[in-house]
Amino acid sequence: MLPASIQITGELLSAAEVQDICESLKEDGVRLLSVRGCQLSDRDFERVCRSVAESRSLAQLNLNLGVVSSISRTRHLADALKTNRSLQTLFLHGSPLLDAGLVTLNPVLSTHPSLVCLDLGDCMLGDEALALVCGMLPPDGAKSGLRELTLSANPGISSKGWARLSIAVAHSSQLRVLNLDYNPLGDQIAAMLAVTVASSRTLEVFLDMVENYPTSLRVLVLAENHISPELQQQINDLLAEGEEDDDREAPPLLRGPAYNKALQPIREKYQLPVWLPCSNSGPQMVMLTSGLGESLLAETEM
């Protein structure tokens, strides 16, 4: 029997329900486990983590909205990831990890052989945590490096921290999706993220970085960051310059009705404009408008 998915949202989980989840994990019967916003005892959370450690089928784990609510739970999760080798996607959006929590998770996150997608949005992170995240980006031996990263709504990160991230992204050959919405970046810090040095002032250099550095970044989300209309217009103008070339060069799967249809649910849900492509090798996307309630990564399980 093929692995199934278990998706529960905002419920109080009984011991019997937790037992069923654990048994399914141990039997390799679960590929996606989502308990976002659910309440369960510390003992039951530890039981789930032990079962995650044993699972060889689990590819996506969603613990969004406060499930990892204490440092003890963070330690249990870290212990589980030491043994687990199958997990590809981990959602921790809305968990009060703080820097201390990421320090606890970092040794296992940075060495996990399969993890490629990580959501740390609204986790109350600071510069210390962001420095650790930067170390997860590049490939290292058998570890492929992160391909999708969400750091939305972490206002405790300083301009120095964001500048460090910009440099790390420039040297990462794997990162494709970067969500930074709901951070108080402003124009100056947005410019830092656009280049590999803190003195950069416009996102024009970001396009130069994409073309000339070994990076495969495809999506940059900067919604709700108080970026001025003038800078937004400048970005739009720069992207429009390469739009015709992109239409000719983009792979068929990333163009036409099928591509637009895939994005339509997101546009309708958040009333967003179309994505803005810009690349010589595939579409880059820069989202500057407001309206994103939760990470785009969460669309996979909503």
Lowest mean per-residue pLDDT among 48-52, 60-64, 108-112, 202-206: 202-206
pLDDT at 237: 59
Alpha-carbon distances, residue 67 vs 5, 110, 123, 151, 175 (angstroms): 18, 22, 12, 18, 27
pLDDT digits (tens, 9 = 90+) for 118-140: 999 999 999 999 999 998 887 66
User: Whole-prediction pTM value?
Assistant: 0.69
CATH of domain 4-242: 3.80.10.10
**DSSP letter (8 states) at residue 200:** -
pLDDT digits (tens, 9 = 90+) for 56-115: 999 999 999 999 999 999 999 999 999 999 999 999 999 999 999 999 999 999 999 999
Quick one: how far is CA 26 from the chain centroid?
A: 27
What is the SS3 string spanning 171-195? Answer: CCCCCCEEECCCCCCHHHHHHHHHC
Is the pLDDT at 300 greater than 90? The verdict is no
Residue 1's pLDDT band (cuts 50, 70, 90)? low
Residue labelled with tokens 């406060």? 66
- For the chain, what are the domain ranges? 4-242
pLDDT digits (tens, 9 = 90+) for 210-267: 333 334 445 556 566 666 677 666 655 554 554 445 454 444 333 334 434 444 443 4
How far apart are the C-alpha atoms of 150 and 211, rounded to whole Å? Answer: 23
pLDDT at 294: 37
Single out the residue of 78, 256, 278 nearest to residue 194, CA to CA.
278
Residues 6+ apart with CB under 8 A from 152: 93, 121, 122, 179, 180, 181, 182, 183, 221, 292, 295
Alpha-carbon distances, residue 274 vs 182, 247, 286, 298 (angstroms): 20, 15, 10, 19
How many of the other CB atoms lie within 10 Å of CB of 208? 12
Strand, coil or helix: what is 12?
strand
pLDDT digits (tens, 9 = 90+) for 261-298: 444 443 444 343 333 333 334 444 555 443 333 333 33
Task: Provide, rounded to the nearest whole percent, the portion of the chain with pLDDT above 70.
Answer: 60
Residue 174's pLDDT band (cuts 50, 70, 90)? confident
